[in-house]
A and B are shown apart, each in its own frame.
Chain A
């Protein structure tokens, strides 16, 4: 048996049993962060905080929400919004956070693309990040079903229909997913379970994986410089703090992170109190009605770009391109054939154009996805969707020809 001595302090007592000091070093004070980074590197922490906001507000909503088709709508719109003291606060925090989390995820992703943070040993960070994106998308969708309003019902209908696979007519699969011919009690019950248990647990596991993937390569920096973390850490610990290229995660880098988080939270609660409307679709304030489709069915803003890729084509091609759009980002580390892992603007014209065009095109797709599918908007949407696919197909060729900088 291991040898324990009489503890000299609470800390010593814990140290002997849990090695808390060592743990603190490994996780925080001797987890090294490059100095040469900017506020965009705080987005990861902003995401963590937003996830906590979702978790806490969700726990409070869960205490009054009733997952039955008869009562779900009222339990949200009446009980939580009118009866429960501060119920509106949890609902608005949850709704706004669910929307804003995607804005931050997109910023986080495009930061990663811009600085080449998915290359040279950082592939697993990227892949785990994309899995988080998928898990968050599933979480957002399942959560959207819960108020059982018109948009819940019809988004549920349309999205589950995607699984029939177009001409494959896998209607049995669709009915299996729903547990009924149409979204009804069985459907609401299982999506409720997914939203409050299975997907959050998966997200927690994936966040663990994401952080684990960061450990060995460490975070990238503004110049894509390859840093010898052991040597720089030694320099720092030997007293040359100014000369070292790295600093401690806690409390040194954390204080910067938390500064950004502070600014973010002011913005976030401004939205929660004064501008929550964007996160609450007015159509979803009508109870679900299986015999009446709303005039326009559109997803929340963060799914619009991929929805727009589905829309202009016949069902089979639309589904194939939609699936393509969903998975293609995961493959980025393998489609980018260039030896450079530096900011996009310094990698030569071709990739710089590719990057900014991709960003701009996704904004255009998002805008077109919101507009009714008619006239000029249909055409712009079609061109944008084709451009999106072409850009991804072109990526390996453009990057393979890139010169080492």
Chain B
């Protein structure tokens, strides 16, 4: 009996030591898989918005992801104004309107192609489609293109930094 309770105590003591060790190792393992600081620090890109032409889709790069920049033509803008869901997604810099989005399909992350003839985007992976302002026009994508955090800085746009315009988009559920 006495033996047993001593062994029981030793078992519990070991269990406690091992438990602390196991939790510690799991924390270390989890953190080892986190993105490195250098990866996180390289997360800013500045775009000079004056170089874009109306109706021409340009792909930029931010955090390894493609960024679609589409300066809206008068026709696109007129279309967008008809629908509050469209107009609220556009970024206004120096009086012009731009669609600035992460160019990854919100379904599973393929890069949709811009179809000039139809002024929309088509994802080849599972057939999703997006409008010229980045909203979904055909499923499976669950929502419009995500808009990267940005800050308007005169005629420039800094991606990766949170400005008031982006914050309000986020607060209003325009983007994630």
Contacts and interface: CB of A to CB of B under 8 A. Distances in A.
B140 A315 contact: yes
Contacts of A221: none
A158 B111 CA distance: 11
B108 A161 contact: yes
Contact of A378 (B61, B124, B127, B141): B127
B64 A314 contact: no
Interface magnitude class on chain A: 35 or more
A163 B142 CA distance: 15
A293 B110 contact: yes
B142 A180 contact: no
A186 B36 contact: yes
B46 interface: no
Nearest to B64: A182
B95 interface: no
Given A157-B109, A182-B65, A313 B140 contact: yes
A296 interface: yes
B59 A291 contact: yes
Nearest to B61: A291
B69 to A, nearest CB: 13
B35 A180 contact: yes
A295 interface: yes
Interface string B132-158: 000000011110000000000000000
A162 interface: yes
Interface string A92-110: 0000000000000000000
B32 to A, nearest CB: 9
A175 B66 CA distance: 16
B126 A373 contact: yes
Interface in A305-321: 311, 313-316, 318
A58 interface: no
Given A190-B33, A378-B127, A314 B65 contact: no
Contact of A297 (B34, B35, B112, B124): B124
B39 interface: yes
A291 B140 CA distance: 21
B22 interface: no
A167 B141 CA distance: 11
Interface residues of B, number: 30
Contacts of A178: 35
A154 B110 contact: yes
A87 interface: no
B158 to A, nearest CB: 17
A111 to B, nearest CB: 33
Contacts of A167: 142
Interface in B68-111: 104, 107-111
Given A179-B33, A315-B141, A295 B124 contact: yes
A161 to B, nearest CB: 4
A175 B110 contact: no
A179 B35 contact: yes
B66 A290 contact: yes
Given A290-B64, A295-B124, 10 more contacts: A154-B110, A157-B104, A179-B36, A180-B39, A181-B35, A181-B64, A182-B65, A184-B39, A186-B35, A314-B142
Interface of A: 154, 157-158, 161-162, 166-167, 169, 171, 175-182, 184, 186, 190, 290-297, 311, 313-316, 318, 372-374, 378
18 contacts: A161-B109, A167-B142, A171-B176, A176-B33, A176-B35, A177-B33, A181-B63, A184-B64, A291-B61, A291-B111, A293-B111, A311-B126, A314-B139, A314-B140, A315-B107, A315-B141, A315-B142, A372-B124
Interface of B: 30, 33-36, 39, 43, 59, 61, 63-66, 104, 107-113, 124-127, 139-142, 176
Ranked nearest first, the 5 interchain pairs of A and B with the lowest CB-CB distance are A182-B64, A293-B111, A181-B63, A161-B109, A158-B108
